Structure 1
Amino acid sequence: MISYSITEINNLLKGEIIGDTNQKIEGPEELQKANSNQITFIGSNKYAKYWQDSKASTALVNYNLNIEPGENRAFIKVKNVDLAMAEILELFKLSTPVFDIDIHPTAVIHETAKIGNGCKIGPNCYVGKDVELGNDVILYPNVCVFDETIIGNNTIVWSGTIIRERCIIGSHCIFHTNVSIGADGFGYRPSADGRGLVKIPQIGNVIIGDYVEIGANSCVDRAKFSSTIIGDGCKIDNLVQIAHNSVMGRSCIMAGHSGLAGSVTLGDGVVIGGSASIKDHTTIHSGATVGAGSGVMSDVEAGKTVLGYPAQDARDMLKQWVAVKRFVKANS
């Protein structure tokens, strides 16, 4: 089992050790669940009160917290506990599933497909006509990549994911289980006789930049024409819907159950909270934040935080909620 001394861990983090312990650290854990051989973290005073009863020997602590570790226990004080914990998790990261054979004999690969050096393709995968895989791409079992799709170097695609035809995927991306890339956008119009619906053909594609991560069971639909675009560095949670012709800038975040309707535009660094929904043809400018559960019906200015349904300036919405609460209390 891997273990580290507190000094070895701090050599990585470049923090400040307060107190002392000779306990070897064998992994990280939550404050109230940790054992003596585990390191935990305290990010704010809200959690500091739990330290006394914790069995952990070591904790990462934000530098501005004024608490003491106690006997045979130690703190590593850092500027940002969340980022420091990310480095700790890297230390103890478990190995990924092993490929006994780089390209499994049950994989179906079209003769025109171009497979880069070091690629690994698991059982029952399908790689279609004129597909191009860059170097060191990993397709876990039961992945389908359809015709003329291009996938960049070092991208990882987990089981059950389907990437439809003509999509362009960047390098160093991660698609988790059962992601759908390039399914038809949701486009229908009433028929001329008014007795049914006419399907609008979706002839575009999806373009995804580098270092994009998409969570399990999320969907990015192909464009009606042109492209649905996900910019470099975007991080998309599980169960997220991105509709046809939407465009996301660089390093946007979308939390679980959120969704973009058709032709939504996000600037760079936009944050969409869980279960938030964005109306079609809406623009959310760079640096804006949409609170969880909100419904955005109109454009959002750069750097602004909106909240509620329909979404409006977060401060105004909070004032309304306080006023309603007082009114209910006064009349109850």
Structure 2
Amino acid sequence: MADPVFFPFATSLDFGEVASICGASLPEGVEAGRRVEGAAALETAGPADLAYMDNPKYVEALAATKAGLCLVSARFADRVPAGTVALISPTPYHAFARILARFFPTALRPESVFASQGVAPGAIVHATAVLEAGVTVDPGAVIGPGAEIGAGTVVASHAVIGPQVRIGRNCSIGAGSTIQAALLGNRVIVHPGVRIGQDGFGFAMSPKGHMKVPQIGRVIIQDDVEIGANTTIDRGASRDTVIGEGTKIDNLVQIGHNCVIGRHCVICAQSGLAGSSTLEDFAVLGGQVGLAGHLTIGAGAQIAAQSGVAGDVPRGARYGGYPAQPALSWARESAWLKAAVARRGRKAGDNQE
């Protein structure tokens, strides 16, 4: 549930305003001026709350909800109880997100611990660093020589911004994160503990030992990227590591040197991308996916959780398994293996008799 201490409620909306924001229409006879004072899950919502439902697993919760207004797709509208107004949307979750952004704007990105602009006591900003008006630097943060930070950006406590780093406007740099050899666009969210721009894992190996190869590239992060807590993005070796605009990266992800991530990709937690991997636009990696180096995941391709990918994946394909293969082949193989094990077990039992 929303805690007003952590996430203050910004404004209430009437039913008509909610419908307008969601691009939906109120049912006939519903009072447009009725107020929505909060948002909650189906199970806990009350008459003044907005809820949503778009997953068949929650049909029973929908039927029992006491929410005043509920966003649903057309297929579930007849399951909304009589005391709840159904607001039909083709994408209820997206519509709910738009309303939440109005109700709880401070939850959209990490905020300053002081909730005030300027350089706080205890922060260190080098004399040659350039901060536009409206930058917030919390206690313990360090801004290195020649760094440039755009208006509206928040640098949280104990974050370290290295020399010559460029950070755009309205970004959020989480507590304890470190950024070096990197250029960040606008509206980038970097959650706590993220490491950007450190050495890539590059060694010239030989029987006599392994020689460190200087990593002389950068990390380029385009607009509207979000990077989850404790994720690491290595700088390029001889070319740049690039994260395309709108890409969303979960917690605990490793992105190796020279990787190129396209626009609006999704990379779930604990995935690892070896050096020089390429994800084309709108590619999706499930949790704990591992990519070998120097391969390409085509645009719009989806890789199932815990898959190990050793070769290129075509555009729009769905792969899974270890080693990863087309999802249908993987499902058939898994079914055959399960049946084979069952047959073997039955045969062993017959022999014991």
- TM-score of the alignment, normalized to the shorter chain, above 0.5: yes
**Superposed CA offset, 1:180-234 (max 9, x none):** 00011112344452xx433222222211111111011101001122211111111
Residue 82 of structure 1 corresponds to: 93
Does 2:198 match 1:187? no
Q: How far off its partner does 1:298 sit?
A: 0.2
State the Cα RMSD in Å.
Answer: 2.1
What is the distance in 1 between the residues matched to 2:129 and 2:171? 17
Amino acid at match of 1:182: G
Deviates more, 1:322-331 or 1:125-134: 322-331
Equivalent of 2:46 in 19, 35, 48: 35
Aligned residue pairs: how many?
A: 329
8 Å Cα contact 2:117-2:135 kept in structure 1: no
Write out aligned runs for 1:249-260 (5 A): 249-260=262-273
> Which letter maps to 1:64?
R
TM-score computed with the length of structure 2 as normaliser = 0.87
1:136-155 alignment, distance < 5 Å:
136-155=152-171
Over 3 Å counting, the alpha-carbon distance change for 1:47 and 1:221 in structure 2 is same
* Aligned residues with identical type, % of pairs: 34
* Cα 1:94–1:229 shift into 2, 3 Å: closer
Aligned 1:187-266 pairs, distance under 5 A: 187-191=202-206, 193=208, 196-266=209-279
Q: Give the Cα separation in 2 of the matches to 1:287 and 1:51.
A: 32
Matching of residues 49-198 of structure 1 within 5 Å:
49-95=60-106, 96-97=111-112, 98-100=114-116, 102-164=118-180, 166-191=181-206, 193=208, 196-198=209-211
How far apart are 1:88 and its partner, in Å?
1.7
In 1, distance between residues paired with 2:75 and 2:230? Answer: 40
Question: Does 1:328 find its partner at 2:341?
Answer: yes
Match status 1:296 vs 2:321:
no
Aligned equivalents of 1:257, 1:315: Cα separation in 2: 25
Normalized per residue, which structure has more helix? Answer: 2
Determine the structure 2 residue equivalent to 1:46: 57
**What is residue 311 of structure 1 aligned with on the other side?**
324
8 Å contact kept, 2:62–2:81 = no
Cα shift at 1:82: 1.5
Question: How far is 1:111 from its partner?
Answer: 1.4
Question: Does 2:33 correspond to 1:10?
Answer: no
Task: Point out where structure 2 has 5 or more consecutive residues left out of the alignment.
Answer: 1-8, 346-353
For residue 202 of structure 2, what is the amino acid of its counterpart?
Answer: G
* 1:82 aligned partner, one-letter code: Y
* TM-score normalised over the length of structure 1: 0.92
Shift of 1:100: 3.8
Offset, 1:177: 0.7
- The residue number in structure 1 matching 2:348 is none
Distance 1:112 1:66 in 2: 60
What SS class does the counterpart of residue 168 from structure 1 fall into? Answer: strand
For residues 272 and 287 of structure 1, the distance between their equivalents in structure 2, rounded to whole angstroms, comes to 10
Q: Could you report, residue by residue, the CA deviation over 1:59-87 in whole angstroms, capped at 9, with x for unpaired residues?
A: 11102335143333211111111111111
1:288 CA drift (Å): 1.0
2:349 counterpart residue number: none
Letter in 2 for 1:123: P
Q: In 1, Cα distance between the equivalents of 2:338 and 2:30?
A: 49
Greater CA deviation, 59-68 or 247-256?
A: 59-68
Residues 129-174 of structure 1: CA deviation (Å, up to 9, x unaligned): 111112222211111111111111222111111001x311111111
8 Å contact kept, 1:120–1:138: yes
